[in-house]
Structure 1
Amino acid sequence: MKINFNYIKAIIIIGLVMFLYGFAERRNNDRKLNKIEVQFIQFENLYVTEEAVNKLLIQNKVGATSVGKEALDLNRVESILNNHDMIENAEVFLTLDGTLKTKISQRKPIGRVLGNEIYYIDRLGNKMPRSQFYSARVPILKGVEEKDLKNVYPLLDYISRDKFLTEHITSISKGRSGAYKLELRKMDFELFFGKAERIGDKFNNFKAFYKKALKDDILNTYNMVDLQFGNQVVCTKK
């Protein structure tokens, strides 16, 4: 019987490749983590620090040398980070050199509620605790309870997306009727907004009024500016 040496050679080469691949993969998995890199994206202000993230991972036994790469559960690491009060989303991946990299999006506050409990409302409309590392410069909410968050959120969200409104509005007060009053930075008059409806129309009317009154130098002559009546702005002079 004629022996096909080429066939045997091919089998040996395939077997050797598989052995080397398995050996390399096992050695790679047996290596310890070299380091952890934390990257914050989107926002400049740090409501949670790199040190706090590293401490959280170490407390959950995800240290730089405490666990082998084979035993590392990336989904578990992401879950640990995403459960942090100041983290909106975390992505975790492992590089070939043994570096655990984390990309973290922090929660962004858009309002601060003052009352028996003090907390933020984040950009998704959820309660957010205060940070020990940074105090956000956002409108203060007075007379607002947790049950009111769904109602006041569209108003806060609109303000947070508008540069002019963000620069000028310092606080929002809720009355018993559910209507809102806004306080403005460096302005003597109160801005009566009414209920959180027709938000875009009301603010567009206010911007038109503000631009005209600023040009005529009469902003400081008003005591109250009322936006609740249709397409008109009703002003009360001092």
Structure 2
Amino acid sequence: MRVNWIPIKIIVLLLVLAGLFGFANYRVNSKSIEDIQIKFLGDNNLYLTEEAVNKLLIQNHGSVKNRSKDAIILNDIEEVIEANPMVKNAQVYLSVKGELISEIQLRKPIARIAGVDQFYLDDIGERMPLSKYHSARVPLITGKISGEALKDVYKILEHVNLDEFLRKNIIGIHIEDKGSYILKLRLENFEVRLGGAEDLDHKFKNFIAFYLKATKDKTLNAYAAISLEFDNQVVCTKL
């Protein structure tokens, strides 16, 4: 009776390969971490530093460098980094060269709140603490600060940030009583009375059209206030 050796050879080969893979994997995991890299993703990377992240890791996990790879729990490190109020999300992984790499995306402030408490409003409408490393150049929010008012402010800024002209020219929003808002401009002395946070598309389109025409006519300096509060109208108050 002839024995078919081919299946047996295949099984033996697979066992040998599995053993080699397991041994190689063991060798890789038993190696120590040779270096730590902190990478901030995107251009919004000024509100936290590599030194601060390394200090955070040391405080929670001790020195990570020179520890064996299999002693490191990557999810725990991600959770520690993401617990920092400046961090939006983090991904931590090990490279084949023995590096512990942390890729971090920071939160993005879109306004600074100047109330009893000082803080930022981020790009999803959540409160964000000020950073000791960098001060963001964003519109300043003043006046009657409240949770409901900040929802309106976020809605207004969403529209502002979609338009280059508005984004460059609006540097502040003042909150008045009863949900009424005043826009502060970068170069002009007059204020823009927006009214409520409804019908913003029409209000901003009307304002841009007025501004461009008044610039062409060289009449901007004649106004003390511009009101967008009335339906489909721009009402001007002269000095």
Same-fold call, TM cutoff 0.5 = yes
Structure number having the greater helix percentage: 2
- 8 A contact 1:90–1:104 mirrored in 2: yes
Aligned partner of 2:122 in structure 1 is: 122
3-state SS of 1:232 partner: coil
Stretch deviating more after TM superposition (69-78 or 197-206): 69-78
Alignment CA distance shift 1:7-1:178 (3 Å): closer
Aligned partner of 1:236 in structure 2 is: 237
- Distance in 2 (CA, whole Å) between partners of 1:203 and 1:13 is 72
- 8 A contact 1:34–1:64 mirrored in 2: no
Pairwise CA distance, 1:82: 1.5
- 8 A contact 1:45–1:134 mirrored in 2: no
- 8 A contact 2:149–2:175 mirrored in 1: no
- 8 A contact 2:41–2:104 mirrored in 1: yes
1:45-194 aligned within 5 A: 45-61=45-61, 63-143=63-143, 144-194=145-195
3-state SS of 2:40 partner: strand
3-state SS of 1:138 partner: coil
- 8 A contact 2:44–2:108 mirrored in 1: no
Deviations 1:203-230 (A, max 9, x none): 1110000000000000000011000111
- Distance in 2 (CA, whole Å) between partners of 1:171 and 1:141 is 6
Query: Which amino acid in structure 2 is aligned with residue 220 of structure 1?
Result: N
Report % sequence identity.
43
Aligned partner of 1:220 in structure 2 is: 221
Pairwise CA distance, 1:153: 1.1
Query: TM-score if structure 2 supplies the norm length?
Result: 0.91
3-state SS of 1:120 partner: strand
- Distance in 1 (CA, whole Å) between partners of 2:5 and 2:175 is 88
Stretch deviating more after TM superposition (136-145 or 189-198): 136-145
Aligned partner of 1:198 in structure 2 is: 199
- 8 A contact 2:149–2:179 mirrored in 1: no
- Distance in 1 (CA, whole Å) between partners of 2:185 and 2:13 is 78
Pairwise CA distance, 1:77: 1.8
Pairwise CA distance, 1:12: 4.4
Alignment CA distance shift 1:188-1:2 (3 Å): closer
Query: Which amino acid in structure 2 is aligned with residue 81 of structure 1?
Result: I
- Distance in 2 (CA, whole Å) between partners of 1:125 and 1:150 is 7
- 8 A contact 2:109–2:136 mirrored in 1: yes
Pairwise CA distance, 1:64: 4.1
Query: Which amino acid in structure 1 is aligned with residue 141 of structure 2?
Result: L
- Distance in 1 (CA, whole Å) between partners of 2:6 and 2:238 is 101
Query: TM-score if structure 1 supplies the norm length?
Result: 0.91
3-state SS of 1:230 partner: coil
Aligned partner of 1:19 in structure 2 is: 19
Query: Which amino acid in structure 1 is aligned with residue 47 of structure 2?
Result: Y
Alignment CA distance shift 1:188-1:93 (3 Å): same
Alignment CA distance shift 1:159-1:6 (3 Å): closer
3-state SS of 2:52 partner: helix
- Distance in 1 (CA, whole Å) between partners of 2:162 and 2:39 is 25
- Distance in 2 (CA, whole Å) between partners of 1:222 and 1:179 is 20
Alignment CA distance shift 1:62-1:19 (3 Å): farther
Deviations 1:21-58 (A, max 9, x none): 22211111111112121222222451011221122122
Deviations 1:5-33 (A, max 9, x none): 66665554443333222221111111111
- 8 A contact 2:44–2:106 mirrored in 1: no
Query: Which amino acid in structure 2 is aligned with residue 200 of structure 1?
Result: D
